[in-house]
Structure 1
């Protein structure tokens, strides 16, 4: 894996997942590397975001079904508004 700083590196220096979720952190690092390479190849950030959301939701539907995925997505507005996906916020 390359050592370039990814879009997903939080400003606080802390990882987005606790130590008990090391596999998710590793997965995020792989995705960040692919994202960075795609950007270097000229793929627009919005296109990457759209494709990533589609792939993630399609995977959730396949693994957990339509209803469970819809329930997960229904929780997103509150989580977004609370700053859970804001990479610029500093965790104390």
Structure 2
């Protein structure tokens, strides 16, 4: 089952993976892609992978928790809007 809280037991691997994603974003921007296009593509790829791994229902349950996490600043770096 997909962990909606992104448990810390895989935290190190996720931090390393995040570094790869950050690098891909930087490379895409250097090639002229805007960050919005990169973000949408990354979300699509991530959700597709989660569906392939855990199925539609588990991924939907995971996604249901995202609005509250966004509102609480879980994805905010720097100044909050």
Shorter chain as denominator, the TM-score bin is: 0.7 to 0.9
RMSD: 1.7
Unaligned 5+ runs, structure 2: 1-7
TM-score by length of 1: 0.73
Question: Are the structure 2 counterparts of residues 71 and 20 from structure 1 closer, same or farther at C-alpha, using a change threshold of 3 Å?
Answer: closer
**How many residues get paired?**
72
Quote the Cα distance in structure 1 between the aligned partners of 2:74 and 2:32: 28
TM-score by length of 2: 0.82
Quote the Cα distance in structure 1 between the aligned partners of 2:58 and 2:10: 24
Q: What's the offset of the Cα at 1:38?
A: 0.5
Moved over 2 A (4+): none
Higher helix residue share: 2
Unaligned 5+ runs, structure 1: 1-17
Is the partner of 1:33 in helix, strand or coil?
A: helix
Corresponding position of 1:15 = none
